[in-house]
Structure 1
Amino acid sequence: MPANYSNRWLEIISWAKHLLIMARCKDPQERYFYTIQTQRQAWTKTVLAQQLKAQTYQQTVLAQHNFPTTLPAPRVEQAALALKDEYTFGFLALTAEHSEYELEQALLGNVRRFLQEMGGDFSFIGNQYRLELADTEYFLDLLLYHRSLQCLVAVELKITDFRPEYAGKMNFYLSLLNEQVRKPHEQPSIGIIVGSSKQRTVVEFALRDVNKPIGVATYTLTDTLPTELRAFFPSNEELVRRLEAVSAALRAPNG
């Protein structure tokens, strides 16, 4: 965060938005993040309030993806903002024990709430979306479209811990979408794997050499993170490292 933040950056968004940020955020780095994103993404006061409520700053810091190595620099930041580290599906009437089919059907029955939880700017295209190659059919759990990114977003739902082979399968689906479904004016497709839990080191290695943009997130059916999942979040040292990385990215000129 620049040393002259208080003098320079107060001018780039309205005072009403600054008051909202200052009321909700005590950490200077967090305030800086929301100030810059409000200006860059042209957030209205209502959208800013939604981003604050959704804890976009924390979700951006924690989110795991390979966007920096698979997307052009100007799109990395916007794509990262479209991904959360964890989605809360507390609006679903599901028990702790449920199948992937039950999860998918419950989301379809609450598609408006689902799209809101995904973060806005998403549109629903279909479920069990059929793809075909060499006389073999493949079915993608959910296919969405992100208006700002102007790209298809493939979503795979898993009720298990993340496995490395999930990344390979998603990479394959994205290749098919880009070849068979994507329109000429659209950007390359992005994949999001949403599972019940993940080991962050496994995700990091699984995405390291994948050449398509993929994010890996978890979901919970309550607003409170279960105790048994807290171990999957980074240590304080890792969180500091990620905060520093976000700060460095924000200081870079807007591409």
Structure 2
Amino acid sequence: MVSFYETFGDFKIVHTLSAQLTWSHIKELISLEDNLKREFYSTMCNTERWSVRTLRERISSMMYERTAISKKPEETILNDFKLLREENKMTPDLFFKDPYVLDFLGLEDTYSEKDLENGILAELEKFILEMGSDFAFLGRQKRITIDDEDYYIDLLFYHRKM
């Protein structure tokens, strides 16, 4: 409780934060030294409805450090957080990351675009199968023609009952 008070001393902030996040979330946030990081993760947790497991994964993958916003001045960062909290407007700086962590794909140090596509599709297929047997994955790079012009759908899937 002491470290909670030291970290989130202002009662107004404590009440708002504790009403939106679980105690487990708050315990993870207390361990962060930097106030901007803590503000980033608490805002994202609340906005994106992260589970505690997701929060831990995002902290361990250094999500804050990889976002474009971490390289901005502190005042800009705080304004972006305020926009996200109050108006639910996510700025591009909060969204874009450098680099993206694709460890879950199991790719080696060097890989082609085709390897990346195959890895993502394999994970997507597992995800769709977890959602149930009524989801159908029809194909990738599916060609359609509209007004004598060819277009390609990257991924085509649908829910059979819907």
Could you tell me the TM-score, scaled by structure 1's length? 0.36
Q: Which ranges of 4 or more aligned residues in structure 1 deviate by more than 6 Å?
A: 112-115
Percent identity of the aligned residues? 22
* CA distance, structure 1, for counterparts of residue 138 and residue 40 of structure 2: 32
Q: Give CA deviations for 1:52-79 in whole Å, capped at 9, x if unaligned.
A: 233332333359xxxx9xxxx9553288
* CA distance, structure 1, for counterparts of residue 150 and residue 143 of structure 2: 7
Whether 1:10 aligns to 2:14 is: yes
For 2:65, which of 58, 62, 73 is the aligned residue?
58
Residues 61, 101 of structure 2: 8 Å contact kept:
no
* CA distance, structure 1, for counterparts of residue 38 and residue 109 of structure 2: 38
Q: Give CA deviations for 1:117-168 in whole Å, capped at 9, x if unaligned.
A: xxxxxxx885314454431212244579xxxxxxxxxxxxxxxxxxxxxxxx
Whether 1:101 aligns to 2:108 is: no
Residues 143, 152 of structure 2: 8 Å contact kept:
yes
**SS of structure 2 residue aligned to 1:76:** coil
Gaps of 5+ in 2: 1-7, 71-79, 81-85, 129-136, 158-162
* Structure with greater helix percent: 2
Q: Which residue of 2 aligns with 1:189?
A: none
Q: Which residue of 1 aligns with 2:3?
A: none
Task: Sort the Cα spacing of 1:81 and 1:51 in 2 relative to 1 into closer, same or farther, 3 A.
Answer: farther
Q: Give the Å deviation of 1:114.
A: 9.1
Task: Sort the Cα spacing of 1:130 and 1:62 in 2 relative to 1 into closer, same or farther, 3 A.
Answer: farther
Q: Which residue of 2 aligns with 1:110?
A: 123
Task: Sort the Cα spacing of 1:44 and 1:140 in 2 relative to 1 into closer, same or farther, 3 A.
Answer: same
Q: Give the Å deviation of 1:21.
A: 1.2
Question: Which residue identity does 1:88 align to in structure 2?
Answer: V
Pairwise mapping of residues 67-216 of structure 1 onto structure 2 (< 5 A)? 74=87, 76-77=89-90, 83-90=96-103, 91-94=105-108, 96=110, 98=112, 100-111=113-124, 127-142=140-155
* Structure with greater strand percent: 1
* CA distance, structure 2, for counterparts of residue 125 and residue 85 of structure 1: 32
Task: Sort the Cα spacing of 1:93 and 1:20 in 2 relative to 1 into closer, same or farther, 3 A.
Answer: closer
RMSD over aligned CA atoms reads: 4.1
Q: Give the Å deviation of 1:31.
A: 0.8
Q: Which has the higher contact order (CA 8 A, sep 6+)?
A: 1
Residues 144, 150 of structure 2: 8 Å contact kept:
yes
Q: Give CA deviations for 1:167-205 in whole Å, capped at 9, x if unaligned.
A: xxxxxxxxxxxxxxxxxxxxxxxxxxxxxxxxxxxxxxx
Q: How many residues align?
A: 122
Q: Give the Å deviation of 1:47.
A: 2.9
* CA distance, structure 1, for counterparts of residue 109 and residue 41 of structure 2: 36
Question: Which residue identity does 1:137 align to in structure 2?
Answer: D
Residues 144, 152 of structure 2: 8 Å contact kept:
yes
Q: Which residue of 1 aligns with 2:29?
A: 21
Task: Sort the Cα spacing of 1:105 and 1:46 in 2 relative to 1 into closer, same or farther, 3 A.
Answer: closer
